[in-house]
């Protein structure tokens, strides 16, 4: 058993260290400019309350306020990542609370916006497309003007018509869709971008899980629907009339815009849609084309093949 004198000496030594550290910390805290300013705004605070709240004041002093000492949200150094400390007084007592910092607010906004662009089998590079990387080479002048016109109008009110981009392979039609989608998300407008050949397969696969109607309703009601490479898929009359026709009819009635890309102009697309496994059905194909005209404006894109 340790002699009581030894225990007492040890405690007195540790206590002296504690007192020295306490005095040092207290001096550092009370000499901090921000804390001095806070205390000057609250002359009603007693010395007893200040001493009692020294730990709170130290916690406030040692942390970054509104990202001033943090490089990003991911590298936040605070006890509660993404939250900035605030000192306030209630009924003569000092309280410490936290609010979201600028970096966290921006991070959460970006995360929420990212969810606004949904895709079905679309390349990642298209989802990262930007209008700032679209160059006007003369051949695409009209398409670029229509793109910016839609974005400008959408900043005030969502137009009832999208754009039907058509032109040769590799001229950047799909990239235009991605760029528009990313501009719309900055306005908190959601968009759904669908690669048509995979969309056909997606619907067929939904038969097994009995989710066909659910998927169709989802596509019908998206703020902005984008159908990429329409006319490239091998489709049945059933898909053309019951799926595509149903979606376009709903959006036409609700005045919701649809964007398309295709290698065909609308006259050529009509011939493609008319030819199915069941034969040539001109009237039904014409009905689809009329709905496309009601929800989009036809705009050509020409230029060099950018995929070479």
Neighbours of 131 (CB within 10 A): 16
What is the rounded CA–CA span in Å between residue 244 and residue 222? Answer: 14
Share of the chain above pLDDT 90, in %: 37
pLDDT band of 300, cuts 50, 70, 90: very high
pLDDT band of 169, cuts 50, 70, 90: confident
Degrees to nearest 5, angle at CA 270 with 264 and 275: 105
Contact 226, 194 (CB under 8 A): yes
Token pair 């019908």 in the structure block, residue: 220
pLDDT band of 298, cuts 50, 70, 90: very high
Summarize pLDDT for 99-122 with one digit per residue, the tens.
888 788 777 776 665 666 677 777
Q: What CA dihedral angle connects 290, 295, 297 and 303, to 10 degrees?
A: -100
Evaluate the CA torsion angle 46, 47, 48, 49 in order and state its sign.
positive
Contact 228, 194 (CB under 8 A): yes
Highest average pLDDT, of 117-126, 172-181, 189-198, comes from 172-181
Summarize pLDDT for 217-269 with one digit per residue, the tens.
888 988 999 999 998 876 688 888 989 999 999 999 999 999 999 999 999 99
Closest CA to 227 of 201, 255, 199: 199
pLDDT, residue 232, reads: 81
Three-class HEC string of 283-295: HHHHHHHHHHHHH
Query: Is the pLDDT at 85 greater than 80, yes or no?
Result: yes
What pTM, to 2 d.p., does this model score?
0.66
pLDDT, residue 129, reads: 87
Q: pLDDT higher for 258 or 196?
A: 258
Q: What is the DSSP letter of 308?
A: -
Query: Is the pLDDT at 11 greater than 60, yes or no?
Result: no
pLDDT, residue 200, reads: 83
Tell me the domains of the chain and their CATH numbers: 13-104 (no CATH), 115-300 (3.40.50.300)
pLDDT band of 1, cuts 50, 70, 90: very low
pLDDT, residue 79, reads: 80
Taking all residues of the chain, what is their mean pLDDT, rounded to a whole number? 85
């Amino acid at each position: 058993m340790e002699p009581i004198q030894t225990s007492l000496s040890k405690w007195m030594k540790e206590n002296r260290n504690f007192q020295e550290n306490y005095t040092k910390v207290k001096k550092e805290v009370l000499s901090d400019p921000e804390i001095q300013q806070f205390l000057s705004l609250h002359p009603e605070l007693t010395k007893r309350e200040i001493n009692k709240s020294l730990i709170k004041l130290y916690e406030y002093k040692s942390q970054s306020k509104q990202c001033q000492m943090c490089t990003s949200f991911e590298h936040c150094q605070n006890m509660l990542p993404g939250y900035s400390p605030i000192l306030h007084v209630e009924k003569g007592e000092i309280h410490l609370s936290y609010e979201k910092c600028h970096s966290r607010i921006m991070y959460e906004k970006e995360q929420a916006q990212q969810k606004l662009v949904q895709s079905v089998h679309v390349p990642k590079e298209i989802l990262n497309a930007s209008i700032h990387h679209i160059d006007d080479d003369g051949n695409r002048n009209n398409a670029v003007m229509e793109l910016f016109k839609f974005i400008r109008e959408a900043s005030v009110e969502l137009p009832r018509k999208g754009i039907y981009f058509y032109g040769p392979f590799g001229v950047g039609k799909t990239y235009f869709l991605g760029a528009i989608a990313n501009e719309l998300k900055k306005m908190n407008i959601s968009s759904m971008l669908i690669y048509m050949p995979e969309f056909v397969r997606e619907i067929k696969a939904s038969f097994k899980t009995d989710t066909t109607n659910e998927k169709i309703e989802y596509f019908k009601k998206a703020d902005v629907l984008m159908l990429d490479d329409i006319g490239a898929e091998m489709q049945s009359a059933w898909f053309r009339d019951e799926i595509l026709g149903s979606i376009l009819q709903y959006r036409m009635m609700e005045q919701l815009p649809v964007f398309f890309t295709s290698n065909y102009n609308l006259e050529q697309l009509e011939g493609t849609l008319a030819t199915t496994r069941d034969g040539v059905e001109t009237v039904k194909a014409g009905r689809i084309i009329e709905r496309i005209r009601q929800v989009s404006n036809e705009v050509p894109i020409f230029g060099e093949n950018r995929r070479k």
